[in-house]
């Protein structure tokens, strides 16, 4: 199935269309209203989802922060250029990687990043050296929410007195107002609701009914992010730029729900797994595209990827990616408009060290961090992993019924496809070396028959 409703004609490319990418951090699959969440009101995100297309099977390319951000900006699998793990020390965005900001700036757009970078803290990796004209935020993987140092405005370090999520929302709204008369690309990368769990007292008081302390602080942080999104959407309306702005909203990975992760009180129900695993709970996220007056509201049921953001945004702006860019994503607009039927991707792939997954149609082959089963504490950053397992996701989204023994031909088919993809990749430079399964399907499955 594609659209849950009758599709309208494909959106017409509009030269000069603005692009707004809103990225949440460690947001649980079930923790916004449009995903069925009930205890954390998210009226602004719900309104955005109602006005746009909500993807029931929206995926990111990895189960934690920095690698998926690299892929989002590049439109290519992060393992193609070595960004398989989070950077440490003087590491950063892979050499020669061209970002979506550089692509759009070359077309005359003003570009801005507000929020979390996490693609290198050394000078060569600064956002202003990767296509962004403006930057307000922090360079590392996490940051305090209350007044603190370590925030950057361009290349100048500043002390920020505002609650950080509020500051990001206000800065993003300001960017929209300042650049309302010129085409812009704005990447609003929240650190909410990543740890540390710090909520402002007023919002925390709204969630007194939630008795578990961690969940209560998390709820207040998600609520703050929703307020910030509302502030940016209001700026779009007030400047008259809302009808010429395509908006993408998603999380960088699933919620961290297991020991060994930065647990924040998130819920990925009904999915199984967590941030740092290749189970659905680690890689399937809330995902929305909205383009007022161009995209008909509805629900789309085929698997899509964050890799699709760059080509879709380019197409919305009337631009054509060059084949030399070797993008892994696809332009979703013909699928959302009904010009094309079927699945946008023949297959989606994952690799994080010895963890792996491939999704083809309803089928998913996966080898994941064994800690997700609660059987053994895994090692970081390269975990102990399960044998390969096969799931039929349409019937078993919680990945409970392993069909490896019952479907040996399908298992072999998916492993063969994954191994061909894996052979195209480079070794990671920013972490432990990958340990892909050996070529034999039986030996790859470990000791199981």
CB 175 within 8 A of CB 109: no
Kindly write down the DSSP assignment for every residue of 411-428, as one continuous string.
HHHHHHHHHHHHTT----
Q: Which residues of 388-419 are buried (b: 16+ CB within 10 A; e: fewer)?
A: bbbbbbeebbbbeebbbeebeebbebbbebbb
- Which has the closest alpha carbon to 259: 369, 386, 382? 369
Residue spans per domain, the chain: 18-337, 348-444
Residues in contact with 201: Cβ distance below 8 Å, sequence separation at least 6, in sequence order: none
Class of CATH domain 18-337: alpha beta
Please give the structure tokens belonging to residue 97: 């990687």
Confidence of residue 411 (pLDDT cuts 50, 70, 90): very high
Neighbouring C-alpha atoms within 13 Å toward the C-beta of 141: 15
pLDDT in tens, 273-324: 999 999 999 999 999 999 999 999 999 999 999 999 999 999 999 999 999 9
Cα distances from 269 to residues 69, 99, 257, 283, 335, in angstroms, run: 24, 33, 11, 13, 28
Mean pLDDT confidence for 396-406: 97
Q: What's the chain's length in residues?
A: 449
User: What is the per-residue pLDDT for 12?
Assistant: 66
- Rounded Cα–Cα distance for residues 353 and 135 (Å): 32
Provide the 3-class DSSP secondary structure of residue 322. coil
pLDDT greater at residue 90 or residue 119: 119
pLDDT digits (tens, 9 = 90+) for 197-227: 999 999 999 999 999 999 999 999 999 999 9
**pTM summary value:** 0.94
**pLDDT reported for residue 287:** 98
Q: What is the DSSP letter of 11?
A: P
CATH no. of 348-444: 3.30.1120.10
What does the pLDDT average to over 405-432?
Answer: 93
Contact partners, residue 82, CB within 8 Å, separation at least 6: 94, 426, 427, 428, 429, 430
- CA dist 176 and 172 (Å) reads 6
- Say if CB 1 and CB 301 are below 8 A apart: yes
Q: Are strands 110-116 and 298-300 parallel, antiparallel or unpaired?
A: unpaired
Bigger pLDDT: 381 or 348?
348
Does the structure show a pLDDT above 50 at 104?
yes
Residue 15 pLDDT exceeds 70: yes
For strand 156-160 and strand 184-189, is the pairing parallel, antiparallel, or unpaired? unpaired
């Amino acid at each position: 199935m594609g659209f849950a409703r009758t599709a309208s004609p494909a959106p017409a490319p509009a030269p000069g269309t603005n692009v707004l990418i809103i990225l949440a951090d460690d947001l649980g699959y079930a923790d916004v209203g449009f995903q069925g969440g009930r205890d954390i009101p998210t009226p602004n995100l719900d309104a955005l989802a109602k006005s746009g297309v909500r993807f029931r099977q929206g995926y990111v390319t990895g189960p934690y922060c920095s690698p998926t951000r690299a892929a989002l900006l590049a439109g290519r699998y992060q393992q193609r250029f070595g960004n398989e793990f989070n950077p440490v020390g003087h590491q950063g965005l892979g050499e020669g990687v061209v970002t979506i900001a550089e692509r759009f700036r070359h077309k005359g757009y003003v570009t801005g990043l507000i929020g979390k970078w996490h693609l290198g803290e050394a000078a060569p990796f600064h956002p202003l050296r990767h296509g962004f004209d403006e930057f307000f935020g922090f360079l590392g993987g996490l940051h305090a929410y209350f007044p603190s140092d370590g925030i950057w405005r361009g290349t100048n370090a500043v002390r920020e007195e505002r609650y950080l999520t509020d500051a990001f929302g206000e800065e993003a709204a300001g960017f929209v107002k300042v650049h309302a008369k010129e085409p812009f690309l704005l990447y609003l990368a929240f650190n909410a609701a990543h740890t540390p769990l710090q909520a402002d007292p007023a919002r925390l008081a709204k969630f007194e009914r939630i008795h578990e302390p961690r969940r209560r602080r998390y709820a207040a942080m998600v609520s703050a992010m929703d307020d910030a999104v509302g502030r940016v959407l209001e700026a779009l309306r007030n400047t008259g730029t809302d009808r010429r702005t395509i908006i993408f909203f998603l999380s960088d990975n699933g919620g961290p729900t297991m020991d060994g992760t930065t647990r924040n009180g998130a819920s990925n129900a009904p999915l199984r797994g967590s941030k740092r695993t290749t189970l659905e709970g680690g890689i399937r996220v809330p995902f929305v595209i909205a383009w007022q007056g161009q995209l008909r509201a509805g629900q789309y049921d085929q698997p899509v990827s964050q890799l699709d953001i760059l080509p879709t945004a380019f197409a919305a702006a009337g631009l054509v990616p060059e084949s030399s860019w070797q993008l892994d994503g696809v332009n979703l607009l013909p699928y959302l408009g009904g010009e094309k039927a079927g699945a946008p991707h023949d297959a989606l792939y994952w690799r994080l060290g010895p963890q792996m997954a491939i999704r083809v149609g309803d089928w998913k082959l996966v080898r994941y961090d064994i800690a997700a089963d609660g059987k053994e504490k895994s090692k970081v950053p390269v975990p102990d992993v399960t044998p390969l397992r096969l799931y039929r996701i349409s019937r078993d989204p919680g990945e409970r019924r392993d069909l490896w023994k019952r479907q040996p031909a399908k298992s072999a088919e998916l492993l063969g496809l994954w191994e061909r993809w894996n052979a195209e990749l480079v070794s990671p430079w920013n972490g432990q070396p990958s340990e892909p399964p050996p070529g034999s399907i039986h030996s790859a499955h470990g000791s199981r028959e």
